[in-house]
Chain A
Amino acid sequence: MFAAIEGSLAVAEAVKRCKPDVVSAYPITPQTHIIEELAKMIANGELKAEYVNVESEHSAASVVLGASATGARAYTATTSQGLLLMVEVLYCIAGLRLPVVLGAANRAVSAPINIWNDFQDTMAARDTGWIQLYAENNQEASDLHIQAYKIAENKDVRLPVMVCMDGYLITHSIEPVRIPSKEEVDKFLPSYRPEHCLTTKEPLTFGYLMGSEGYMETRYLIHEAMENAKGVIEDVAKDFSSVFGRFCGGLVEEYRLDNAQFVFVSMGTMVGVIKEAVDALRTEGKKVGALKIRSFRPFPKEAVIKALKGAAGVMVIEKDVSLGSAGALALEVKDTLYGLKKMPKVKGYIAGLGGREVLNETIVKALTLFDSDVKEPVFLDLKESVEGRKYA
């Protein structure tokens, strides 16, 4: 199927081909179109699955937890406040090592209420033990859902995966997207065969009380599984490319890094804007490149070092902020590069919060401000008119 369709529809079509047994979600903008489509597909028999209507995201997460524990393939989707409400259960899903896939239509968090795009919601779920993959465009958002189940269900991983996609910019935009056939996906993604699940034949208990004698080891094992996931994410991306002919990076995607002195690092749709800016700056003779982080959890330290070690300057631009500290991605990049013999200078920028548009000019400004002594994190495109004071 090759069609110009809305991002949400492209995601729903991909999820359908993954044949989840159970879908449960609570509608919230801008995730709504995804689950409306899935509900329709289930109602008209296109997708043989159970759709469980719930009264909140907390319940939706609990339903997919339970479903996955019985050995079913489960899907949910949410955003913003809905994701925050799920967080308690998200920890449980990861702790129980259940390969649930969640589509996160990235949106700002309240208050003030704002339904537009940024990454503050999924960053709040950073430490839940979920793998987090970020999509650059509609094609990648659709493809990542198919890859997500294969990563999650890998026996060396067995962790849930969050497919993060910019709300509106992906979910509500129309772009041509290729969606593989059912048969192709069947070939790529075998049906889910859990090693352990809840059955009446062989009763088991999941997630029982664990004191200091073993709790720490369960956390270590999740961390180890995250490390394993690095190789699996790379392998699955390559596998995907050999079957479907599309590759948009494994853990990271390098863009024009040959002899690049200054490198922009970012995630999600902002990378598309950065790629355009890099092309324009290159034609002006500026030696710039870009690094797209596809996998934020696990964080691909080795790949990031490989990509950035030759650079003089690194500009991390992100749509989230750990208030009172810095952007989450900038902290990761600095931690990763710390201690290198020739450590590039890193500067962290915050942009595009609450749907403020990130333009070519925003990216160019980050480069212009690189050598200035403006305090980090640098908030790009702040409006003097709103706060009534001067910004850098």
Chain B
Amino acid sequence: MKEIRIHGRGGQGVVTAADLLAVAAFHDGKYAQAFPSFGSERMGAPVESFVKISKETVRSKTQVHKPDFLIIQDPTLFLGVDVLRGLKKDGLIIVNTDKKPEELNIKNGFRILTIPATDIALEILGRPIPNTTLLGAFAGATGIVSIEAIEKSIKGRFPGSLAEKNLKATKAAYKRIKE
């Protein structure tokens, strides 16, 4: 089983990202469970969501405490939230930032990958919602879900042109990571 925890702020599509990822894993023929942390989901407040992807049925309805992967939608969360808690030693952190990994000052030896997802989203979507862009990066970096499955998942969630724009952003990030 692979466990993913997504950190962001209310309004950044943190919950939607988990939903899209779980549905994508399902399209890949896997079992997936997703839910948000049921806390203060106000605009701007720190929000978390959880995804578990497995070949087997996931029975435990628990949050993700020992993630294999972290997706950080807002790098300012490093300042106030213990986003790294429980991350496995060989875990991977994907951070939405225009900085380089070494500029983030994370000294625990974790693998870090950075991508300016907000910039990409602003350019393509015209809105600073980085979730689908980060999913493209996640697919590219981990291979846990296929980009085709993410595509299907996004098409199932958003109507016409919104889906197309999100897909464009997702693929841009995927390509960028793959290169």
Q: Given the interface contacts A172-B36, A174-B32, does A137 sit within 8 Å of B61 by beta carbon? A: yes
Closest to A362 in B: B62
Chain B interface: which size bin?
A: 20 to 34
Interface string of A340-374 (1 = CB under 8 A from B): 00000000000000010111100000000000000
A7 to chain B: closest residue by CB? B35
A63 to B114, CA, bound (A): 55
Count, chain A residues at interface, CB 8 A: 25
- Name the interface residues of A267-295: CB closer than 8 Å to any CB of B: 269, 272-273, 275-276
* CB < 8 Å neighbour of A174 from B35, B38, B62, B65: B35
B59 touches A276 (CB 8 A): yes
Q: Which residue of chain A has its CB nearest to the CB of B59?
A: A272
Q: Inside 8 A of B58's CB, which chain A residues have their CB?
A: 175
Q: How far is the CA of A186 from the CA of B22 in the complex (A)?
A: 31
Complex Cα distance, B63 from A357, in Å, reads: 8
Determine whether the beta carbon of A4 is less than 8 Å from that of B22.
Answer: yes
B118 within 8 A of A: no
Does A169 sit at the interface, judged by CB under 8 A?
yes
CB pair A174 B23 closer than 8 Å: yes
Q: Does B23 lie within 8 Å of A4, measured CB to CB?
A: yes
Q: How far is the CB of A204 from chain B (nearest CB, A)?
A: 46
Cβ of A173 under 8 Å from chain B: yes
A168 at the interface (CB under 8 A from B): yes
The smallest C-beta distance from B149 to any residue of chain A, in angstroms, reads 11
| 18-40 of chain B: CB within 8 A of chain A | 18-19, 22-23, 25-26, 31-36, 38
Q: Are B22 and A174 in contact (CB under 8 A)?
A: yes
How far is B62's CA from A19's CA once the two chains are assembled, in angstroms?
33
- Closest Cβ of chain B: how far from A234's Cβ, in Å? 23
Report yes or no: A176 in contact with B60, Cβ–Cβ below 8 A. Answer: no
Minimum Cβ distance to chain A for residue B36 (Å): 7
B34 in contact with A272 (CB, 8 Å): no
B60 adjacent to A276 (CB under 8 Å): yes
User: In the bound complex, how far is the Cα of B59 from the Cα of A269, in angstroms?
Assistant: 8
Partner of B34, one of A166, A169, A173: A173
Pair B61/A176 contact, Cβ less than 8 Å = no
Closest 7 CB pairs of A and B: A4-B26, A173-B35, A272-B59, A174-B34, A269-B61, A169-B61, A4-B23
What are 6 pairs between A and B in contact, CB < 8 Å? A4-B23, A4-B26, A4-B32, A137-B61, A174-B22, A272-B60
Residues of B within 8 A of A (CB): 18-19, 22-23, 25-26, 31-36, 38, 58-63, 65
Known contacts A169-B61, A170-B61, then 14 further A-B pairs from the complex at CB < 8 Å, ordered by chain A residue? A4-B23, A6-B19, A116-B38, A173-B33, A173-B34, A173-B61, A174-B23, A175-B33, A176-B26, A176-B32, A272-B60, A273-B61, A276-B60, A358-B62
